[in-house]
A and B are shown apart, each in its own frame.
Chain A
């Protein structure tokens, strides 16, 4: 068992290198990087300057920077070396904990990420607690009342939640509850005058801003979990060992909660590890809809603005989390299900 997990942990390394090298290569070969951006800015500035002078237009469209300057820029951003060499340099820096400097804001990438993490973590944790808090009891209830009124009515909600993605739910809530009826704020993590509020008002402000995004997060994932809970519990209820337990006189409730429920939690536990990356990274679509300045939005904006050090920095964190999450899933399964023996 220990061997298995050690091997899994070691396998993270080649996979991690594979992921980062592919994205690194993409950022290299794609036009529109920081060097091109600066050239474009220089060109615009030159055009602006050239407005007053009636000169030949040909010069305006030509290269505003000299080759020397461009080489200097390439060297500054590390674009002067071949891909593999600069990848190795980047990788060595990452190992020492240095994710580089944003080419857009010239802030250290690590600081930018650390600033965003609490926000995504807050939404992630709250919605995870809610998802598990709703799904497990609801799934049990639905399994007991299979094909009865409660089951059928909740099924409508669950199927709707299953069909439409969370950010679309968020958008609908935002337009009606936020804009039309003005019950909730239109997004953001806190209100504008957050600084001037006392502690209770601050907490109220955060909660008020959190209601709609949290609903969207929950709507995005509770359906799958509830159905999973219900189906596995029903499968276990019809298994032989429960029939035996009941026929030998065990009360139904005891049979369910002592025997069937524990077995039904196995698939839920398998899902648990996948949550790690969602909790920390957030969903950038939901964060975009609600203008929440979290990790997801940071990643999205850095891709749009070609802020490659930030893109890669987020990739490093998210892929490590994802890979670690997979292993955590296995550990969870091993804890819940003693029969599982990984080799």
Chain B
């Protein structure tokens, strides 16, 4: 268990007292945790099936064929139809479908209607379908999950790189610092979106490839921040006494300096998350992010742009995006206020 210093605990308490940020944090967690179990929220498999007295959980078990449920086909059973059949038979068999009974890759083509189809509650397409007949709400949820996981891993990779390089630059100074300063200046001036587009048009990136490519350019801002702070911290007495007791450079950096800079690291984290979501969405919108058919907000925005009559696609994505990013921004503002309170004088 990590032990927080009383000072850090005080800051956490201050964060909790800022209502807007604290509730945003709770809401975001309440959105994120269920999205981990998105197969139970949006799926074409039933959550639970009661058939001839025994229970089945198709979302977490292997595929069950039609003949298994006394249907006359051998491929995977269609749970939406099975549900109707069970109701007609009225034989004590039942099943519960997820709230959105579609999976994100499933094309729901209806006779005589060409997708995209507008929202309808009777078809349980609460936010309509996209150009391929896939459920928008369902893809939003899966896209949210992917975007959040993406930005969090990206955050860790960027911070890991940025913090270590920044600390080394600040702590060792001298030639190491000067060389890296030049490198960073060059690096940060390369139009990174261009490079990402060039790279991802050759190799189709998966989630981890994309993180690697993005973190290639993402570590810079944190490095600058950490460098400045380490410079300041290095001159403090506790570093001197640690050195006098014979602690090595690595120990001083990671055991003594780093805990003292935690406030800054935490302050920047929420903004890095929203930055991650925005850049993944932008890349997906341009078609250089995750490969199709991965559900993603950017890809939906791209579809909405190409089919402007289907206003529900753009509207639902932008609503979801605004809501999520606003939550993250509120959290970020509250964290900043908690860690760096500014007391203003107000003249009446």
Which residues 321-347 of B sit at the A interface, judged by CB distance below 8 A?
321-322, 325-326, 328-330, 333, 342-347
For chain B, the count of residues having a C-beta within 8 Å of the partner chain is 43
Q: Is the CB of B189 within 8 A of A171?
A: no
In the complex the two chains form, is A304's CB within 8 Å of B318's CB? no
Contacts of B1 in A (CB 8 A): none
Chain A residue nearest to B298 in the complex (CB): A168
- Find B198's partner among A30, A178, A285, A322 (CB 8 Å cutoff): A30
Give the residues in chain B near A180, CB-CB below 8 Å: 308, 311
Provided the pairs A164-B321, A243-B345 are in contact, do residues A171 and B314 lie with their beta carbons within 8 angstroms? yes
Asked whether, in the complex, the Cβ of A323 is within 8 Å of the Cβ of B189, the reply is yes
B interface footprint on A18-60 (CB within 8 Å = 1, 0 otherwise): 1100110011001110000000000000000000000000000
Q: Which of A172-193 contact B (CB under 8 A)?
A: 172, 174-176, 178-180, 186
**Chain B proximity of A331: nearest CB distance (Å):** 19
Pick out which of these stretches binds chain B: A87-95, A107-115, A155-163. Answer: A155-163
For window 278-313 of B, CB contacts with A under 8 Å fall at 278, 281-282, 285-286, 301, 304-305, 308-309, 311
Decide: A32 and B186 in contact? CB cutoff 8 A: no
Question: A14-B182, A18-B182, A252-B347 in contact; A322/B189 too (CB < 8 A)?
Answer: yes
- What distance in Å separates the Cβ of A313 from its nearest Cβ neighbour in chain B? 13
- Contact residues, B239-279 vs A (CB, 8 A): 274, 278
Chain A CB within 10 Å, residue with most, of B197, B314, B328: B314
A163 partner residues in chain B, CB cutoff 8 A: 274, 322, 325-326, 328-329
Contacts of B121 in A (CB 8 A): none
Q: Is the CB of B321 within 8 A of A178?
A: no
- Is A327 an interface position by the 8 A CB rule? no
State the main secondary structure of chain B at its contact with A: helix
| B residues near A311, Cβ cutoff 8 Å | 194
Q: Does A259 contact B (CB under 8 A)?
A: no
Number of A-B contacts (CB under 8 A): 114
- Asked whether B304 lies within 8 Å of A171 as measured between CB atoms, the reply is yes
A26 to B213, CA, bound (A): 14
Q: A26-B195, A246-B347 are in contact. Are A175 and B311 (CB under 8 A)?
A: yes
Is A146's CB within 8 Å of the partner chain B? Answer: yes
B7: Cβ under 8 A from any A Cβ: no
Q: Is the CB of B344 within 8 A of A235?
A: yes
A15 in contact (CB, < 8 A): yes
Contact B318 A171 (CB under 8 A): yes
Give min CB distance, A227 to chain B, whole Å: 9
Query: Does A299 have its Cβ within 8 Å of any Cβ on chain B?
Result: yes
Which of chain A's residues has its CB closest to B194's CB?
A: A303
Q: Does A217 contact B (CB under 8 A)?
A: no
Closest 8 CB pairs of A and B: A18-B186, A179-B308, A238-B345, A163-B325, A163-B329, A175-B314, A234-B344, A163-B326
